[in-house]
Amino acid sequence: MLPGKPAVATDRSAIRTQIDENLRRVYDEVLTEAVPDRFLQLLAQLNSGPPANTDTDK
């Protein structure tokens, strides 16, 4: 085993921990963001059923 090997493993572990913490922080921020009004309007349209029959298929 090389003398520097344990330090490399520790560095990788610290980097993984830091990445995990940063990803959790960003993900948590996204979860608490408000849904944009335009997106809510689109969801309401989808939930209201199919659009009225139009003659665009002809």
pLDDT at 25: 95
Domain assignment of residue 52, yes or no: no
Q: pTM here?
A: 0.46
Decide which of 55 and 42 is more confident: 42
Domain assignment of residue 21, yes or no: yes
User: What ranges in 1-58 are assigned the alpha helix state H?
Assistant: 5-32, 37-47
Domain assignment of residue 57, yes or no: no
Q: What is the residue type of 43?
A: L
**What pLDDT band is residue 48 in, cutting at 50, 70 and 90?**
very high
Q: 22: domain range?
A: 5-47
Domain assignment of residue 41, yes or no: yes
Rg (C-alpha) for the chain, rounded Å, is 25
**Residue-wise pLDDT tens digits, 24-39:** 999 999 999 999 999 9
Which run of H or E residues covers position 42?
A: helix 37-47
Residue 44 has pLDDT above 70, yes or no: yes
Domain assignment of residue 53, yes or no: no
**Residue-wise pLDDT tens digits, 1-15:** 455 566 777 899 999
